[in-house]
Structure 1
Amino acid sequence: MEIKIKSIHFDATEQLKAFIEKKTEKLVKAYEDIQNVEVQLKVVKPATAMNKEASLNVSVPGSKLFVEKTCDTFEEA
């Protein structure tokens, strides 16, 4: 499984990247044939709370899965 992490308008720390990789590795429990996972992180409105947006594109044979959530921190999303 290949994991791609994109951070838009900021530089993600190594600690955040390690956290994301650890969490996405757990997806194998739900789907064994995951081809790749693309994680996109974006700060929506820098001066407000609930401004961290995380989205995942998961490619599995025959379909693509997508989820998106906006929270106060990337780890929470």
Structure 2
Amino acid sequence: MFEVHTTDTDRLRRIAAAGGIAIVLGLLMMLLNLVTPFFSSQGYNAGNAVFGLFGAFVVLMATHPTYQAAEKLGLDET
């Protein structure tokens, strides 16, 4: 995965903010494409599965650098 090698607090804040936004957008994509079609009249198709899995990919790619930036800023909960 990606490693964060900076100690610049401004850059770490930007990484954490961008990663947080990416995680939220990825989760929203998963919700709208994997869960919502079951409750709508349009139904479920392959396009929903593709974009839902893309949302999962976005979440997976954004989680590690976001956590590293938050950890270096002292924002983690451990």
From the CA coordinates, give the structure whose radius of gyration is larger: 2
Question: 1 or 2, which has the higher strand percentage?
Answer: 1
TM-score by length of 1: 0.28
Where relative contact order (Cα < 8 A, 6+ residues apart) is larger, the structure is 2
TM-score by length of 2: 0.28
